[in-house]
Structure 1
Amino acid sequence: MTPEKSSNYVAFIGLDWADRSHQICLRVAEAGNDELSVLVQDSTAIHAWANALRVRFPHGRIALALEQSRGALIYALSSHEHLDLYPINPAMVARYRSAAKTSGSKHDPLDASLICELVRLHCDWLRVLRPMAAPVRELQLLVEARRRCVNQRLALGNQLTALLKSYYPQALELVGTDLGAPLVAAFLARWPTPDALRRARRTTLRNFYYAHGVRSSACIEERLTIAQQIVPLTDDAAVLAVQPMLVHVVLEQLKVLHHAVAQQDKRIRSVFNAHDDAALFSCLPGAGEQLAPRLFVAFGQDRTRFPSVRQLQQYSGIAPVREQSGQSCWTHWRWHCPKFLRQSFHEFAGCSIPQSRWAKAYYQQQRERGKSHHQALRALAFKWQRIIFRCWQSGELYDESRYIDALRKKGSALVSRIDALGTRAA
């Protein structure tokens, strides 16, 4: 740590957190001894401990490091303004411990002491946690929760597919590809087995599909033919008694998740559209209602959060890592990063390809150079981050034609590809 930064703090704390209690190591500035203690995971105890620190050190700030960037402990400690919180990647602590204790020794007081030493001696390696504004944090929690619900819905859809294949495979052709749609639950509730479907009349099935939004005559006729010619996969009474019950359980869970995602989408739109920067991210090609709020959360409201675009690219995991030793050099993607954040930029890059001529041209160029699909998307996301960062800093909306004109002035090799795409589109 630099002397200037060290002098900003009157004490340093390393906290090794756990589910029920936390190991504390405190070192007073200019003192030579560590003070070890245990803090119980209880809201009253946590706030009492933080207030006691304020009483003990009334005229200075305290640096507190812990292996956590969110959660109950962070939420509690963030409300105390005299504490500067430094989240530490657990991998950093593990490697620091390996360097300090080659024997492999590990216990909670040791980890707390090493975390305290990291923040005391190497604070310049760390970034202090700067909580975003409440609306931004709400949006962050919402978009992450929505993604988890969508992942659960996908997993349940796969489970439903496996169940139907075991006794009623024709149902997968009769309900379409979206297994989370209301049509699926209604169809399987009305005709839970092949025998029940075989007794249904064509008029009844046609009216059912029409009532659930299926308007294609060809699609309806194809499904009616499948239903009319259905041959049961099995006549095992045990399978036909149990599998429909399990299907019902999965469908009820899908119904809950479908409603939850709809409610989350409504709240996300409300919070996102209320922000001044909503237009800046909504105008990005391919962002749409889902990715625009996620990109906004990735950048945040504080323009000083990332002093340069390079820091954003490294933090988000889009920038690759280069390892060099002697004559060997190896470039690989970044393993330690916020995965949801990287996923947001990765997915946006993919969605921008059909909507942006230069993005499509750049993606094709990368593929022709031998890059895999995901390598090409990360390279495209790397370029998008530079563009969006500039718009974010200046407050200007993205302009596709203006960016393509800039490429022309620079004599970029992408221009001929962009013109070719424009000619084919015309």
Structure 2
Amino acid sequence: MSLPDVRVAGIDWAKDSHAVCVIDAAGEPLERLVVAHSKAGIGRAVAVLRQHGVVGVGIERPDGPLVAGLLAAGLDVFVVPPSQVKSLRRRFGSAGHKDDRFDAYVLADTVRTDRRRLTPLRPDTPATTTLRTLVRARADLVGHRVAMVNQLRAHLDTVLPAVVGLFHELTSPISRAFLAAFPTQDAVDALTLDELAQWLAGQRYRARPAAVIFDRLQAAPAGVTGPAGTALAGVTTAYLGAVTSLIEQTEALEEQIAAALTAHPDGHIFTSLPRAGIVRAARLLAEIGDARGRYPTAAALAGLAGVTPSTRQSGQVRVVAFRWAVNKQLRGAVCDFAADTIRANPWAANLYHQARNRGHRHPHAVRILARAWLTVIWKLWTTNTPYDPTHHNALQNLLTQTP
């Protein structure tokens, strides 16, 4: 009995070019080609797939111009993570070497044999993909800011230690203004109490009396003075400028995130969650997305977020382990949200402390709580309903039982 002539393809994505392999229902290659990562190259790949009547395409990443072109052409796209491709290579030999053309074939053959186990990619709306880009860009800037502040702090520990810890945070406006006004140890040493009080008044700083700030300056270890201190002030100014720029650009992105979240049809769902705020709500929405068909159950969402354990069993041996192959961006967003709800939601606090009392460490207890929250969020998300604590039955039952 002959196999139906169903043709599928695999594409090994790369920065500058993409290897394409089209196979028939028996797994025999029909055409192989390499296309450039350009408008013309993507167009050629789509044309070849259409020419062969391809019905499904396997690829290692879920986004980018290539994926957008495949989806626009009406093709079913199946995402096979690189970690799985690495294991799947061993179907065809024990060496497991990386080769773009071979990986394209592996991806195609995986779609051919395992299509019923794969879920077609369902793209999010442009509003969600835009929000995701903004949120991730902000996270990158925050990471760069933290690194730059650490460099500034390490530099000041030697050059001007009096400023480290002088105010609440080194990134605060008053700390940055002080460094800009008094960038050397000599400038700090020349300050009198009256001059400091006058300067603080000009900055409208009232958190601590000028005398307290002055005493801290006097008690701090001495930094570098003289010509060397003056020269090193240039380094201080450079770090300070970089930190200030990163802070300003982060704030600008946060304004865009707030506007995008307000305009998003699902924004009201995520902003209603306890302690979600703007950035955290936007991050949750961006990482979960708005393609409802992607997560048919709350368990599917929790599994991709990595807040459920991975269970392996062979004979009488059963191992429950940490889940590694997950969407790490989604797990980070959900766990960050869950950890903060402990302070605001009695139900969340109760679940967390129960997990801790069972001997789980903090990260594990947070994942347990995150899984519970995803059940709630999935229900709200699929019914387009904001969170209302009065309708949260588990919370209300706990409040009723509390004396």
TM-score between the two structures when normalised by the length of structure 1: 0.86
The residue type paired with residue 66 of structure 1 is I
Match of 2:41 in 1: 45
Deviation of 1:203 (Å): 2.7
Change (3 A) 1:234 1:365: same
Aligned residue runs from structure 1 range 49-198, under 5 A: 49-54=45-50, 56-57=51-52, 62-78=55-71, 80-177=72-169, 179-198=170-189
Give a deviation string over 1:258-312, Cα, whole Å, max 9, x none. Answer: 1111111111111111123222221111111121112222333333331110100
- Secondary structure (helix, strand or coil) at the match of 1:150 reads helix
Aligned residue runs from structure 1 range 273-292, under 5 A: 273-292=262-281
**Structural RMSD (CA):** 2.5
1:329 to 294, 315, 318: 318
Match of 2:369 in 1: 380
C-alpha distance in structure 2 between counterparts of 1:94 and 1:31, whole Å = 19
Match of 1:25 in 2: 21
**For the Cα contact (< 8 Å) 1:12–1:119, is it kept in 2?**
yes
C-alpha distance in structure 1 between counterparts of 2:202 and 2:378, whole Å = 47
1:394 to 357, 371, 383: 383
Runs of 4+ in 1 over 4 A off after TM superposition: 234-238, 404-407
Aligned length: 402
**For the Cα contact (< 8 Å) 2:269–2:385, is it kept in 1?**
yes
Percent identity of paired positions between Structure 1 and Structure 2: 29
- Secondary structure (helix, strand or coil) at the match of 1:174 reads coil
The residue type paired with residue 57 of structure 2 is L
Match of 1:232 in 2: 222
Aligned residue runs from structure 1 range 397-416, under 5 A: 397-404=386-393, 408=397
Give a deviation string over 1:101-154, Cα, whole Å, max 9, x none. Answer: 113444222222111111111122322221111111111111111111111111
1:212 to 179, 192, 203: 203
Change (3 A) 1:274 1:33: closer
- Secondary structure (helix, strand or coil) at the match of 1:288 reads coil
C-alpha distance in structure 1 between counterparts of 2:239 and 2:70, whole Å = 40
Deviation of 1:322 (Å): 1.1
- Secondary structure (helix, strand or coil) at the match of 1:334 reads coil
**For the Cα contact (< 8 Å) 1:198–1:230, is it kept in 2?**
no
Q: Which runs of 5+ in 2 are unaligned?
A: none
Stretch of structure 1 that moved more, 342-351 or 38-47:
38-47
- Secondary structure (helix, strand or coil) at the match of 1:398 reads coil
Q: Which runs of 5+ in 1 are unaligned?
A: 409-413, 421-426
Stretch of structure 1 that moved more, 315-324 or 220-229:
220-229
C-alpha distance in structure 1 between counterparts of 2:87 and 2:164, whole Å = 50
- Secondary structure (helix, strand or coil) at the match of 2:292 reads coil
Deviation of 1:76 (Å): 4.3
**For the Cα contact (< 8 Å) 1:21–1:39, is it kept in 2?**
yes
C-alpha distance in structure 1 between counterparts of 2:41 and 2:391, whole Å = 57
Change (3 A) 1:50 1:242: farther
- Secondary structure (helix, strand or coil) at the match of 2:387 reads coil
TM-score between the two structures when normalised by the length of structure 2: 0.91
Change (3 A) 1:32 1:167: closer
- Secondary structure (helix, strand or coil) at the match of 1:324 reads strand
Deviation of 1:229 (Å): 4.4
Stretch of structure 1 that moved more, 130-139 or 207-216:
207-216
**For the Cα contact (< 8 Å) 2:19–2:33, is it kept in 1?**
yes
- Secondary structure (helix, strand or coil) at the match of 2:198 reads helix
Deviation of 1:162 (Å): 0.8
The residue type paired with residue 103 of structure 1 is A
Asked if 1:293 corresponds to 2:285, the answer is: no
Deviation of 1:352 (Å): 0.7
Change (3 A) 1:188 1:65: same
